[in-house]
Amino acid sequence: MKLRAMLVAGIGAAVLLSAACGGGGEGGGGGIGGTGVTPAGTLRVALTDAPACGYDAVHVTITAVRVHASDAAGDADAGWTEIAVLPRRRIDLLMLTDGVIEPLGQSELPAGRYTQMRLVLAPDDGSVPPANAVTPSGSVEVPLDTPSATQSGVKLQTGFDVAPGQVRDVVLDFDACKSIVPRGSSGRYNLHPVIAVIVLP
């Protein structure tokens, strides 16, 4: 309950700061944005992190968050709403502990219940610095090997309602410690995202 209260306060402060700086953070809808026919609400998404162990930094680059009313919907199915993170954002998860959050954006969408959410990460393309990387304590930054699923979106367990004319706040709690998997003695690391979805009241 303490974490939930901290996140409620944090997301409110972050939204005020974003508004003061002129940043709307609203992504384009993926085909089911408000049409005037179906009552609409607003989904607002942010990111936080559980404390991590053994790392000085864990960077991920997020390009979008996608939501759907059906947990069985495929990538190419109709009915997705996408919150695009523009420009794409490279975030150090270890800076998001103790209730600190990073707003990802918001989008209007039809009121109703949503049961599928996906977090889309950028693939590593040889850029410097790498899109996704880990810095082991006392060492240098190493690119993270990401599963192909991160490019279509990491599927998250969720279930939340968006009421007409209301804002639904959802925080993605990315557990960096559990998400980093060393590849034996190779010096490489795999990213297997472990993310809890916190639906705020």
Query: Measured between alpha carbons, how far is 147 from 149 in angstroms, rounded to an integer?
Result: 5
- The mean per-residue pLDDT over the stretch 17-36 comes to 41
Instruction: Examine the pLDDT at 45 and tell me if it is beyond 50.
Output: yes
Report, as an integer, the average pLDDT of 41-56: 90
Task: Report phi then psi at 10, rounded to 5.
Answer: -65, -40
Cα separation, 142 vs 169, in Å, equals: 33
Task: Please indicate whether residue 77 or residue 25 has the higher confidence score (pLDDT).
Answer: 77
Is the Cα dihedral 78, 160, 34, 86 positive or negative? negative
Q: What is the pLDDT of residues 71-114, one digit of tens each?
A: 999 989 999 999 999 888 999 999 998 889 999 999 999 999 99
According to the model, what pLDDT value does residue 10 have?
53
Beta bridge partners of 189: 144, 182
Omega before residue 143 within 30° of 0, cis: no
Average pLDDT over the chain, rounded to whole?
A: 83
Q: Where are the domains of the chain?
A: 2-199
| pLDDT tens digit sequence for 32-44 | 444 456 799 999 9
Asked if 8 and 2 touch (Cβ cutoff 8 Å), the reply is: no
Q: What is the Cα–Cα distance from 34 to 166, expressed in whole angstroms? A: 13
pLDDT at 24 over 60: no
Q: Which residue has the tokens 């991920």?
A: 60
